[in-house]
Chains A and B, each alone.
Chain A
Amino acid sequence: MKGWNWDGFFDYLTNTYMLEGAAVTLGLTIAAMSLGLVAGCVVALMRMSPFRVLSSIAYFYTWLIRGTPLLVQLIIIYTGLPQLGIKFSVLESTLIGLVINEAAYLSEIIRAGISSVPKGQTNAARAIGMTEIQKMRYIIAPQAARIIIPPLGNSVNGCLKTTSIASVISMEELLRRTQVLIQEKFMVLELFVVAALYYLVMTTVWDLIQRRIERHFGRGYDIKADTATQR
């Protein structure tokens, strides 16, 4: 039995190659979430639009993407599409796969958030002369955000970990790099624990950030908290 190697563990904990892998994971998450959020808003608005064609397209899109595994989608994009002459690099394939997935899931979250704002708010915003865009920006979106943030935070947390699936198409993120290093010295447990710790640190930091965002959008809804900040 080999046992646990502390030196190896601490070595890898501060290994630049691993840290870079974590940075790639973080970068992928930030890119996938921000692009996914923008695309998700578009899909949500299409889904809620009174035009049947638009809402049908949006419905079909979320049905298709949410109904198939990301792993399968990534392999189709990276390994399958070249058969039709459509070639994407590893990074491009990874980003496309992650973004279309996040967009599909986030659009449903956004739709739920927007629908949760009472109709009276729309009337009140219109009654003081706001245009539809002003109404969305100043009245509906901030209130929808309060509902959207908790599940959105869940998505960010999930996305941080889901990026690891891209390792199968040789995207050099944290998990892939862990596996590469294992080939060198076979410290399987030490390396995977290091990788797990990196993921844990990233999700924990996000947790703290999320709580601050929730507090911001929660203002006006909790009498005690609001009274406290006024003092």
Chain B
Amino acid sequence: MQPMIVLEDVDKWYGSNFQVLKSCSLTVSPGEVVVICGPSGSGKSTLIKCVNGLEPVQGGRITVKDMEVTGGRTDLPKLRSHVGMVFQHFDLFPHMTVTENICIGQTRVLGRSQAEAEAKTAALLERVGMSGHAHKYPIQLSGGQQQRIAIARALAMDPIALLFDEPTSALDPEMINEVLDVMVELAKEGMTMMVVTHEMGFARKVADRVVFMDGGEVVEDSPKDAFFASPKSQRAVDFLSKILAH
């Protein structure tokens, strides 16, 4: 089967002497859920932002389906319209209502009619459990609610894959589950997902593979069960013992 996302020997520098990503390679197959974890500063958020070209890379090759992200000749807006992304701080458009947030990409980027976009939006709001909030502004919503809207905004583009960059790190503990529940549903429906997260419970439940990063390198790339049962590297053992201590 043709892989959905392929990263081959990706190098990235900030400036000329700090290398954030060191020859990172990984492959995500269609329908697969890959969780990326690692200590802060390990380069995992940078890595996921390279997948849709939000961060440029200096070496290596990234492809999504049959589109090449790297190389400079790519129509990045077109590529991004096929790959959804959800951010740590939600980044909803504050000057737009919930409905407008979810419609704008559909109408302006995909060229759907307003009616079509609104119908799709209503269905998505239902799906993320936010039907009653269609006409509210982001400021009127809790963090968990905003993040569910952000997921709906990404889904509205009918993405072939979804990228999550620490989607629950900025949330109060009691709101984490409402977001994870939506993500678990997506995973069950067969959405291809790359998820940067510290939520090991989520990883256990739905991940197919766990990628462990440290110091800009992919240290470990294992099936979920193998990763949790017996991490191959000492660095992963240390990391797991720290975050699972409580």
- A residues bordering B, Cβ < 8 Å? 118, 120-121, 123-131, 134, 138-139, 142-143, 146, 217, 219-221, 223, 226-227, 230
The answer on a CB contact under 8 Å between A124 and B77 is no
Q: How far is the CB of A107 from chain B (nearest CB, A)?
A: 23
Contact pick for A127, options B80, B95, B97, CB 8 Å: B80
Nearest-CB residue, chain A, relative to B83: A127
The answer to whether B188 has its CB under 8 Å from any CB of chain A is no
Assembled-state Cα–Cα distance A138/B135 (Å)? 18
Assembled-state Cα–Cα distance A59/B95 (Å)? 31
Given A121-B91, A138-B104: A127 and B139 interface contact (C-beta under 8 Å): no
5 pairs from A and B in contact (CB 8 Å cutoff): A120-B91, A123-B49, A129-B79, A217-B95, A220-B97
The answer on a CB contact under 8 Å between A139 and B140 is no
The answer on a CB contact under 8 Å between A223 and B105 is no
Given A128-B153, A129-B157, A217-B95: A120 and B87 interface contact (C-beta under 8 Å): yes
The answer to whether B36 has its CB under 8 Å from any CB of chain A is no
Assembled-state Cα–Cα distance A131/B108 (Å)? 10
The answer to whether B89 has its CB under 8 Å from any CB of chain A is yes
- B residues bordering A, Cβ < 8 Å? 49, 52, 54, 76-82, 84-85, 87, 89, 91-97, 104-105, 108-110, 135-140, 150, 153-154, 157
Further 7 A-B residue pairs, CB within 8 A, beyond A120-B87, A143-B95: A128-B105, A128-B109, A129-B77, A129-B79, A138-B108, A220-B137, A230-B135
The answer on a CB contact under 8 Å between B109 and A134 is yes
Assembled-state Cα–Cα distance A221/B54 (Å)? 27
Contact pick for B94, options A129, A134, A143, CB 8 Å: A143
Q: How far is the CB of B148 from chain A (nearest CB, A)?
A: 15
Q: What A residues does B136 contact at CB under 8 A? A: 226, 230
Assembled-state Cα–Cα distance A82/B237 (Å)? 81
Given A128-B81, A129-B105: A227 and B140 interface contact (C-beta under 8 Å): yes
Nearest-CB residue, chain A, relative to B95: A220
The answer on a CB contact under 8 Å between B140 and A223 is yes
The answer on a CB contact under 8 Å between A220 and B80 is no
Q: What A residues does B77 contact at CB under 8 A? A: 126, 129-131
Assembled-state Cα–Cα distance A98/B90 (Å)? 43
Q: How far is the CB of A217 from chain B (nearest CB, A)?
A: 7
Q: Is the interface of A mostly helix, strand, loop or mixed?
A: helix
Q: What B residues does A131 contact at CB under 8 A? A: 77
Given A142-B95, A143-B95, A220-B96: A128 and B139 interface contact (C-beta under 8 Å): no
Assembled-state Cα–Cα distance A125/B76 (Å)? 12
The answer on a CB contact under 8 Å between B139 and A220 is yes
Nearest-CB residue, chain B, relative to A133: B77
Nearest-CB residue, chain B, relative to A142: B95
Assembled-state Cα–Cα distance A129/B108 (Å)? 9
Assembled-state Cα–Cα distance A16/B75 (Å)? 60
Assembled-state Cα–Cα distance A130/B105 (Å)? 7
Tell me which of A123, A124, A142 has the highest count of chain B C-beta atoms within 10 A of its own C-beta: A124
Q: How far is the CB of B158 from chain A (nearest CB, A)?
A: 11
The answer on a CB contact under 8 Å between A126 and B80 is yes
Contact pick for A121, options B52, B93, B139, CB 8 Å: B93
Q: What A residues does B81 contact at CB under 8 A? A: 128-129
Q: How far is the CB of A138 from chain B (nearest CB, A)?
A: 6
Contact pick for A129, options B78, B89, B139, CB 8 Å: B78
Q: What A residues does B94 contact at CB under 8 A? A: 143, 220-221
Q: How far is the CB of B134 from chain A (nearest CB, A)?
A: 11
Assembled-state Cα–Cα distance A118/B87 (Å)? 13
Given A120-B91, A134-B109, A230-B135: A128 and B96 interface contact (C-beta under 8 Å): no
The answer on a CB contact under 8 Å between A226 and B80 is no
Q: How far is the CB of B182 from chain A (nearest CB, A)?
A: 18
The answer on a CB contact under 8 Å between B137 and A226 is yes
Q: What B residues does A143 contact at CB under 8 A? A: 93-95
Q: What B residues does A226 contact at CB under 8 A? A: 136-137, 139-140
Nearest-CB residue, chain B, relative to A119: B91
Q: What A residues does B91 contact at CB under 8 A? A: 118, 120-121, 123-124
